[in-house]
Amino acid sequence: MEERSKMNWIISDTHFGHANIIKYCNRPFTNVTTMNATLIRNWKALVKNDDTIWHLGDVANNDFKDKTILSELIHSLPGHKNLIIGNHDKQDINHWHDVGFEFVSLYPVIYEKFFIISHDIVFLNDKMPYANLHGHIHNAKVDLSDCYVNCCVEVNDYKPINLDEKIALLNRK
């Protein structure tokens, strides 16, 4: 069997445990248990243990007050996990390290020199040579140029996006 090389992934706005997100964003799930199971299954089907995955925030409902349950969930997901904190990720950086994220940032990150990964949209001027991979807007229709990529699960079939393929596509534009 041929061994595949390590891959990089990106995902945003999973909102594990957040029942109201189903109605707010018209997610196709009857309950939070089914939603969580689908998100977990999709993540595990794509991401391998040696891969890296960037989560662009809004990981879980703030009702995940039991750090142990959230830690078990995050540790059960494969990959080296990095987090750009979102507006619903109210806990401090140490909390996110403790539950299983290796890298945590409050701010957008420059990735591969020309890509800004962030929770919220980072508005770019036409003269800037960057593209923005972001979350936060869920399935809202926002008229943005091709240099913006919505990484929210609602517009990506509730699956992580292959970051390497997305960057290759953006580089061709």
Is the pTM here over 0.85, yes or no?
yes
- Tell me the β-bridge partners of 129: none
DSSP 145: -
Judged against a pLDDT cut of 70, whether residue 63 lies above it is answered with no
Asked if 75 contacts 32 with a C-beta cutoff of 8 angstroms, the reply is no
Q: Tell me the per-residue pLDDT of 92-146, one tens digit each, with 9 for 90 and over.
A: 999 999 999 999 999 999 999 999 999 999 988 777 788 999 999 999 988 778 8
Tokens of 23: 């109605």
Domain count along the chain: 1
- In the predicted model, what is the mean pLDDT of the chain? 93
d(CA 103, CA 44): 20
Residue 51 belongs to some domain of the structure: yes
Taken in order 57, 61, 65, 70, is the CA torsion positive or negative? negative
- Which domain CATH number covers 30? 3.60.21.10
Position 2 in a domain: no
Boundaries of domain holding 114 = 8-172
Q: Is residue 1 part of a domain?
A: no
- Indicate whether 62 belongs to any domain: yes
